[in-house]
Each structure stands twice: as C-alpha cells, then as structure tokens.
C-alpha cells in the first residue's frame, strides 16, 4: 500500500520521471531488475513508471555513470547521463501510455493454507451479512496474535483490507506477518523467472564464446556515421556489462572508432542484451519486448549521433 500510495496513479505526469530517477539509484543487472519491476507492477504502480525504471536502471545508474566519469572524464559522463535519462523518461511516458501497458504478464499465485483445520472466520463488524477472515491466519498456526493497530479509515465489505500493524514486540514479531504474507508472491516470482534466467545465462555464455571483439572491430572500428547505428545494433547480442565494455571500447577508440559509435555500442549492449531480453520475457509479452528493444536501439543511435556531433575530433 505504501508503494502504491507513493508511486501510484496520483503521480500523473511525474511517474516516468520518478521511475527513471529510481533507476539511477539502483545498479541492477537484468536478473534483479525484472523481479523489482514485477513487484512494482504487482503493487499497482503505473506501467509508464515501471518502464522508465526498466530503461534507466541498466543504462544510467550511478555505477555506470561513475565508471564513465572515471575513464572518459566529466564532460562525456554528463552528456551520457543527460541523453540516457531523458530518453528513459520519454520512453516510459510515451510507450507506457499506449496499448503496451496491457502487454504485461501476471505473476502466478499459489494458494497458501492457513495451517489450521479450517480458516477461522468472524462476523463482519460492518453490519453486512458477509464474514471476514480472522487475522491470525498466516501469523501463527491456530494462535491469536498481539492486538493489532489498524488504519481506521480502511473500509470493509468489498473495500480494501486494512493494513495490520503490530505496535509491540521485537522487530521480527512486528514484521513477521508481512514477511509471511510476502512468501507466496516471492515463490511465484522465483518459479516464473528462473527458467528465463537460465536461458539468459546460456545465451550470455554463447555470446562470449562466439562473438569476440574482432567482430565488433571489423564492423564499427571506424569513424564514419554509418558505424553508429551498426554499433547500436551489434550491442544487443554482445551482453556488454560496463566492466566488460570499458576495456573493449578503450581498444576500439585507440584504433580509430568514433566516440559516437562507442557510446552507441555501450548503450545498446547494456540496455538490451539478449540475456536481458530473455529475462524480460518472464514479465513482458512479445510486443512490449519488441518496443523495449526498439526504444533502446533508438536511444543508442540518437545518443551516438549526439556524441559524434558534440565531441567530433576528440576520439
């Protein structure tokens, strides 16, 4: 409820901005970025906010920008950050408000038993004929928990259930009910994502074995403008983590590659690698994945041309 309140539809046009800013603070790889995003969607965070987070987290988080700053200097790092964060915001705002917001897979759920012979029920205090579940279910088997403090403004009989908070006891005693309630979602998330993580790891290994740096050098190791979109396209299957990309780009720049092509390769490789696409398949349907990859390609290509125009002659 707290996530829904802070990142929900009430943000309006600020949603994509907030999502992109969250991505800056979270140096996630795709394996951890997708579960976080699915948790946001499960908490009813607007798709535009989630999509901006998906765009910014792998490309312009503080670790990536910090490494670029340390290797290439503050001017290149600043332009890189501005280009990627603006494109993440625009991408989330534009794509997140189209029909693509319906191209999201639902997280599988599991029915969790209370552990008692039958789930205890008590008559509703709302004056309705319906009954409500006793809050002891899932807290401790067939036992009564400490007196909870509930939100008095929460409704009942068809409205959202109140958020139960325990005002006494240790940290574990206060938060144990929430942790127990989160277990079915965590289990469902793990079961749904793990096959895609394994596929992504296999693709990453194949790419490392059969896509050596010499292939990149052969096609984009020059300073012509055509090398920029080619570099953006080649970056997708390469799976370029920032710590792997910097040594490669340093060699290619020394051999005559333009800075624009280098940045296009970096954005394409970190933003939409094949392993990441495979993991995104656990969350997004094919149309949404295609739109995501296309936007990363547009960002990489546009960013490459901006770098070429701003820093011409520096590389």
Say what the pLDDT of residue 275 is.
Answer: 74
Say what the pLDDT of residue 292 is.
Answer: 92
In this structure, what token pair is assigned to residue 281?
Answer: 């398949």
Average pLDDT score over residue span 134-146: 44
Q: What is the pLDDT of residues 22-47, one digit of tens each?
A: 888 876 666 667 777 877 887 788 88
Q: Which helix (H) or strand (E) holds 175?
A: helix 171-210
- Classified as helix, coil or strand, 157 is coil
Say what the pLDDT of residue 93 is.
Answer: 92
**8 Å CB contact between 304 and 84:** no
Q: What is the pLDDT of residues 205-260, one digit of tens each?
A: 565 566 555 666 666 666 678 888 988 888 876 766 777 777 777 777 777 778 88
Taking 50 as the threshold, does the pLDDT of residue 121 lie above it? no
Query: Worst-scoring range by mean pLDDT, 166-170, 182-186, 272-276?
Result: 166-170
Taking 70 as the threshold, does the pLDDT of residue 11 lie above it? no
Say what the pLDDT of residue 151 is.
Answer: 45
Say what the pLDDT of residue 304 is.
Answer: 92
Taking 50 as the threshold, does the pLDDT of residue 284 lie above it? yes
State pTM to two decimals: 0.66
CB-based contacts of 292: which residues, under 8 Å, 6+ apart? 51, 54, 55, 95, 272, 280, 284
**Coarse DSSP helix, strand, coil percentages of the chain, rounded to the nearest 5 percent:** 65, 5, 30
- Classified as helix, coil or strand, 166 is strand
Query: Worst-scoring range by mean pLDDT, 13-27, 87-101, 290-304?
Result: 13-27
Taking 70 as the threshold, does the pLDDT of residue 301 lie above it? yes
Q: What is the pLDDT of residues 178-213, one digit of tens each?
A: 667 666 656 665 665 566 556 655 655 565 566 555
Better pLDDT: 289 or 191:
289
Say what the pLDDT of residue 170 is.
Answer: 67
pLDDT band at 86 (very low <50, low <70, confident <90, very high): very high
Better pLDDT: 152 or 66:
66
Say what the pLDDT of residue 122 is.
Answer: 44
Of 257, 269, 260, 252, whose CA–CA distance to 308 is shortest? 260
Say what the pLDDT of residue 78 is.
Answer: 94
Say what the pLDDT of residue 110 is.
Answer: 39
Query: Worst-scoring range by mean pLDDT, 92-96, 215-219, 271-275, 289-293?
Result: 215-219
Share of the chain above pLDDT 70, in %: 54
> Taking all residues of the chain, what is their mean pLDDT, rounded to a whole number?
71
Taking 50 as the threshold, does the pLDDT of residue 144 lie above it? no
Say what the pLDDT of residue 290 is.
Answer: 92
Say what the pLDDT of residue 139 is.
Answer: 43
Say what the pLDDT of residue 168 is.
Answer: 55
Return the domain boundaries, the chain.
2-107+189-310, 121-182
CB-based contacts of 310: which residues, under 8 Å, 6+ apart? 79
Between CA 47 and CA 4 the distance in angstroms is 12
Average pLDDT score over residue span 165-177: 62
Taking 60 as the threshold, does the pLDDT of residue 79 lie above it? yes
Better pLDDT: 48 or 315:
48
């Amino acid at each position: 409820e707290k996530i829904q309140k802070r990142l929900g539809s009430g943000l309006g046009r600020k949603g994509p901005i907030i999502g992109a800013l969250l991505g800056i603070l979270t140096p996630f790889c795709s394996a951890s970025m997708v579960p976080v995003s699915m948790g946001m969607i499960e908490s009813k965070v607007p798709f535009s906010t989630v999509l901006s987070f998906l765009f910014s987290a792998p490309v312009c988080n503080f670790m990536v920008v910090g490494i670029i700053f340390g290797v290439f200097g503050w001017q290149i790092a600043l332009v890189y950050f501005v280009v990627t964060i603006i494109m993440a915001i625009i991408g989330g705002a534009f794509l997140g408000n189209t029909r693509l917001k319906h191209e999201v897979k639902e997280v599988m759920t599991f029915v969790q038993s209370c552990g008692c012979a039958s789930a205890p029920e008590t008559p509703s205090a709302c004056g309705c004929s319906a009954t409500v579940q006793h809050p002891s279910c899932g807290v401790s088997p067939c036992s009564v928990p400490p007196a909870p403090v509930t939100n008095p403004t929460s409704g009942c009989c068809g409205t959202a259930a109140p958020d139960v908070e325990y005002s006494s006891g240790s940290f574990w005693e206060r938060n144990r009910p929430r942790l127990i309630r989160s277990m079915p979602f965590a289990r469902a998330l793990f079961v749904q994502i793990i096959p895609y993580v394994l596929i992504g790891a296999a693709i990453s290994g194949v790419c490392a074995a059969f896509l050596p740096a010499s292939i990149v050098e052969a096609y984009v190791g020059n300073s012509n403008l055509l090398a920029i979109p080619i570099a953006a396209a080649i970056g997708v299957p390469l799976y370029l983590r920032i710590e792997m990309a910097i040594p490669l780009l340093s060699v290619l720049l020394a051999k005559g590659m333009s800075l624009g092509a280098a940045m296009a390769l970096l954005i394409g490789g970190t933003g939409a690698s094949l392993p990441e696409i495979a993991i995104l398949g656990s969350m997004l349907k094919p149309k949404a994945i295609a739109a995501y990859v296309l936007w990363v390609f547009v960002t990489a290509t546009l960013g490459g041309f901006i770098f070429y125009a701003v820093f011409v002659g520096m590389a």
